[in-house]
Structure 1
Amino acid sequence: MTGLTKNMIVISFDCLSALDFSYIHTLPNFQRVFQKGSYARNVETIYPSVTYPCHATIVTGNYPNRHGVVNNTLLQPGVSSPDWNWFRRSIKGTTLYEEAYKAGLTIAALLWPVTGKAKSIQYNLPEIFPNRPWQNQIFVSLMSGTPSYQWELNRRFGHLRNGLNQPELDDFVLESTVHTIKIKKPNLLLVHFTDLDTMRHNYGVFSNEATGAIYRHDQRLGRILDALEESGKAEETTIVILGDHSALDVNKAIHLNIVFREKNLMTVDLNGKIKDWKAYCNGCDGSAYIYLKDPNDLETKEAVKEILDELMVDPDNGIEKVMSGEEAGRKGADATCAYMIEARKGYYFLEHHHGEYLKHISHEDVWKNNKYMLACHGYSPEKPDYTTFFLASGKGILPNEVISSMRLVDIGPTLARLLGLNLGQTDGKVIDQIINAESIL
C-alpha cells in the first residue's frame, strides 16, 4: 500500500471532550493546526470508555472484545491496587506501531498506554507505575521500555517530575517529546498527556483547574509544533490531535461488592481480605463488569440477577442499565462477563467490599483517597454529551474538512492508510474524506 506520509505525530490529550471544542478553537496553538486541518467535533468512543482500552483501540482499529484490553485493570478480586494492562502482550493482533516497524519506520512512544515491553518501539517510555512494595518508578519503567532512552530523558528532564503528580508529569513528557523530535527524529511518535484527565477527576469536568489544563495543553502543543519546525520536517509530517473519551461529573460511588459479600457471594477473612468469591464487580468507573468465578454457576448467576433487579427498582441506587454478557459483547465490551452494568449520571462503581453500598463524595474525600473522584468516564458511548474529538493536519490531510460522523475505531485504519500500512480487517474504517490522495509519496 502506498503511503501519503512517512512522518506522523499522534498527540493524545486524555479526556479531551467534544464540549471543549469552543474553547480550544480560540487557543493560539490549536489554531495553528485548525488553519489547515480537518476535524471531527464528535467522535464516538468505545465501551467501556476508559483509557487503556481506548488507546488500544486507537492503535488497532478494533473494539475491546477483539483487541483484548477490556478494562484498565486486570481482574484481581480483593487486591487493593490491581495491576493494569501495562504490557503489549495484552493486545491481541497487530498494532499501528508494529506495522510501522515492519515497514522500516522508527517509532517513539511516551507514556502511551499498553506499550510495556513492546519490542517494535525503538524509543519507548511506557506508562507504568510501581505496584509492589519492593518496586520503584525508575526500575519498572526501565524494565518495560528502552533503558538507554529513558536514562537520557531522566538525566535531562527528571528534575521536572514530582512522582506521578500533574502538571509536573506532563511537563516532563513535553520536554522529552521536544527532545525526541529534535534528536531522535522518529517517523511515528505517539505521546500521551494526562493533565486534563487528572484535573477533571480531582476537581470536576468544567472546573477552573480543568480549563487551566487545557490552556497548558495548548502551550505544550505550541512547543511541539515549534520543535517540529526547528527539525525541518514540518512540511513532511502529519499532526494528529485526539481525545480518547469525555467525562461526566459524579458525586456518589457504588460499592456493589459489599452487597455480594452480604449475600454470601463473597467471603472474607478476619482481616477483611477476600478468601473466596462466587461473583465480583470489576469496576470500569461509569460502568462495571460482573464476573462469576465459575461461568457455569447458573445458581449464582440467577442470584446476581435478582440482586441487580432489586437495586434497579430504586433510581437512587445508581444503576441505570443491566446487560447480559452477550449484550455487552455486541457493544464491543467483554462478552465473557456474566453481566455489564451502567451507572446513572452522577454515579460510578468502585470495587471496595467493605463500608457502605453508596458513598457520597466530597472534595475532602478526593484528597484523602485517590479512588474517589469528582468526575469520571467509563460510561456507554450512548450517554448524551459524551463524545470526544479528532483533529489532523499536515502531510496527506485535506484542509478544512469537517467530519460529521466518526468513531474511535476509525482512527487506527485512517492513520494506517496515511502511513501506507495495513492493520488487516478492523472494526473501524478509513475516513477517506480527510485524505489528500494527490499527495501520495
Structure 2
Amino acid sequence: MTQTMQGIAKHLIVVSYDAFSEDNWEQAKRLPNLAKLIAKGAYSTQLKSVYPTMTYVIHSTMVTGVYPDKHGVIHNNPLQPFVESKNQAWHWYQDNLNVLTVYDVAKQAGLKTAGIMWPVTGRSSLTYNLPEIVAVNDENQALKVLKNGSPFFCLNLELKFGRIRKGIEQPYLDDFSTACAVDTIKRKKPNLLLLHLIDLDDTKHKYGTDNKAVDQVIQRMDHRLGDLIEAVEEAGVADETAFIVLGDHGQFNVNYKVYLNNLLKEKGLIFDRDGKLEWRAYFQSTGGSAYLQIQKGDQEAEQLALELLEQIAPDQQYGIEQFYERDDLDRLHVDRSISYIVEAKQGYSFEDGLSDRIVEDLEQQGIKHATHGYSPDKDNYHCNLVISGDKVNHGLQLAELEMVDIAPTIAKILGLEFTGGDGRSIDEAFQQ
C-alpha cells in the first residue's frame, strides 16, 4: 500500500499530554511553546473522550478511530480479581487490539513510524518502538522492554538517556521520554511519532487537581514541547512537520473511596475457600466507575448482585450516581462483554480491593487524591486538542470533537487512506 492522497505534512508529532483537560487550558495556552503551536494551529477545549475514561482504553481509540466495543481494550488491565495492582498485567501488547491502527496503515504505505511510551504497543508494527511496559512479579524491566520493543533502538536510547530516569518517578520519566523523542526526531526523522507523557496525570492522582504541583507540571510540559519544536527545527524538517497535542481525559478530586466488593463479600458473592478468595460477582473498578462482573451462567449471583445495587443506590454514602444496563452501554459504545456499570458521583471513586471499611474518608485523613474513569458526558471533563502546522487554519477554535476523530485526522495529515472507523477527519482544521 502507498500513500493515496495529498498529505498536509510529511512528518507528524503526536503528543499525548495525559490528563490535559479543559480546566488546564487557560494556564497552558499562555506558556510560550504551546502558545507557539496554538498560533500556528487550530484548537479545541471540547474533545470528548470514550467510556470508561482510562488511559489504555482511550489511547487505543486514538490510533484505531473506533470505540472500545470494537477495538477490544476495555480497561487498562485484564480482569484479575484479588491481584494487587502493582502485580497486575496490563494491556501492553498490540495483539490486544481487534483492529488495525493508523500506524499499521502508515507502515503499509512505506512510512517510518516511532512510538515512545505509547500504550498498547508491545510487539507492534512501529518501526522504532520503545513501548510503555512494566515488569511485574520479579520480571526484568530492561529485558521486557527489549523483548517487546525494537531492541537496538531501545538499547541505544537506554545507553544515551537511561541515567535521566529514576524508575517511574516523575518528572524524570517524562524527561527521559522527551529526550528519547528528541533524539528519534533528529536521527530517524519518522513520518509519524507517537509520544505519551504522563507527568500531569501522575501529579493529579497524587496531589489533586488544584494543587500548586499541577501548575509546576504544566510549566514542565511546556518546556518539553519546546524541546520537541527545537528538535524538529534542528532536524531541518520544521516546514514539513505538523503537531497534534491532546489530552486523553480529565480528572476529578476524590473525597471518598468506596470499596463495593466489601458489600459483595457480605452477601457471600465473594468468599474464602481453603484460604483463597473466590468470586461469583465482582466489581472491576475504573476509578470513576466500575464494571459489575458475574461468573458466566451464574444467574443467582447476578440477581443477588442487582438486588444489592438496588438496595444501596439511594444511599448517599456509596456515591452511586448512575447504574447503566445494556441499552445505556450500547449508546456509550461499551463492549458487549460488560452487562452493567456503576457510575460514581463527582467526589467519589470506586476501588477493587477489599478493605476494613466500605467507605474511606480521604478528606478526614488529609489525603489529596484525584482520578478518572468517569463517563465522558460529565461536565468540565473534556480534553484539549491542538493541531498545528503550516497548512492548518491558524487561530481556528474548533467545536466539540470526539476521540474517534483523532486517527482519521492523523491519516489525513499523512495522506493515508484510513477507512472503517467510527470517527471523521477534522477537515475544517486544514487550509483548502
TM-score bracket for the superposition, by shorter chain length: over 0.9
The residue aligned with 2:316 is 315
Write out per-residue CA displacement over residues 173-194 of structure 1, whole angstroms, 9 at most, x where no aligned residue.
Answer: 1111111111111110000000
Measure, in 2, the Cα distance between the counterparts of 1:77 and 1:58: 28
Tell me how far 1:342 sits from its aligned partner. Answer: 0.3
Give the 3-state SS of the residue equivalent to 2:396 in structure 1: coil
- CA shift in 2, pair 1:143/1:326, >3 Å: farther
Does the 8 Å CA contact 2:287/2:349 hold for their aligned counterparts? Answer: yes
Paired position in structure 1 for 2:284: 282
Residues 69 and 90, structure 1, Cα contact 8 Å, conserved in 2: yes
Report the equivalent of 1:420: 415
Give 1:215's aligned residue. Answer: 219
Q: Assess, with a 3 A threshold, how the Cα gap between structure 1 residues 338 and 355 changes in structure 2: closer, same or farther.
A: farther
Candidates 399, 406, 413, aligned match of 2:401: 406
**One-letter identity of the residue aligned with 2:280:** K
1:370 matched residue in structure 2: none
CA distance in structure 2 between the partners assigned to 1:155 and 1:68 by the alignment: 35
**Structure 1 position 67, deviation (Å):** 0.7
Quick check: 1:206 aligned with 2:201? no
Q: How many pairs does the alignment contain? A: 426
> Is the Cα–Cα contact under 8 Å of residues 199 and 213 in structure 1 kept in the other structure?
yes
Q: Which residue of 1 aligns with 2:381?
A: 386
CA offset digits 1:192-223 (Å, max 9, x no partner): 00000000000011211111111000000001
- Once the two structures are superposed, what CA deviation does each residue of 1:284-305 show, in whole Å capped at 9, x if it has no partner? 11011111111x3322212111
Q: Check whether the contact 2:14–2:195 (CA below 8 A) recurs between aligned residues.
A: yes
* AA at the equivalent of 2:337: T
* Alpha-carbon distance in 1 for matches of 2:364, 2:394: 44
Instruction: Give the whole-Å Cα distance in 2 for the aligned partners of 1:168 and 1:246.
Output: 23
| Matched residue type, 2:128 | Y
Bigger Cα displacement from structure 2, 215-224 vs 416-425: 416-425
Match of 1:121 in 2: 126
Q: Whole-Å Cα distance in 2 between the matches of residues 188 and 96 of structure 1?
A: 10
Aligned partner (choices 147, 151, 158) of residue 154 of structure 1? 158
Q: Distance in 2 between matches of 1:60 and 1:359?
A: 38
Match of 1:87 among 93, 111, 133: 93
Q: Which amino acid aligns with 1:108?
A: A
1:12-411 → structure 2 map (5 Å cutoff): 12-81=16-85, 82-118=88-124, 120-133=125-138, 135-269=139-273, 271=275, 273-274=276-277, 276-294=278-296, 296-361=297-362, 374-411=369-406
Shift of 1:362: 5.8
Paired residue type of 1:111? M
Offset at residue 263 of structure 1 (A):
0.6
State the AA in 1 paired with 2:248: D
Shift of 1:424: 1.9
**CA contact 1:48–1:380 (8 Å) conserved in 2:** yes
Q: Is the 8 A contact 1:203 1:374 kept in 2?
A: yes
Q: What CA distance in whole angstroms lies between the structure 1 residues aligned with 2:418 and 2:290? A: 29
The SS at the match of 1:56 is helix
TM-score where L is the length of structure 1? 0.94
Q: Which runs of 5+ in 2 are unaligned?
A: none
Superimposed CA distance per residue, residues 287-327 of structure 1 (whole angstroms, 9 cap, x where no aligned partner): 11111111x33222121111111111111211111111342
Separation in 2, partners of 1:59, 1:363: 41
- Contact kept in structure 1, 2:47 and 2:400, CA below 8 Å: yes
- CA distance in structure 2 between the aligned counterparts of 1:180 and 1:63, rounded to whole angstroms: 30
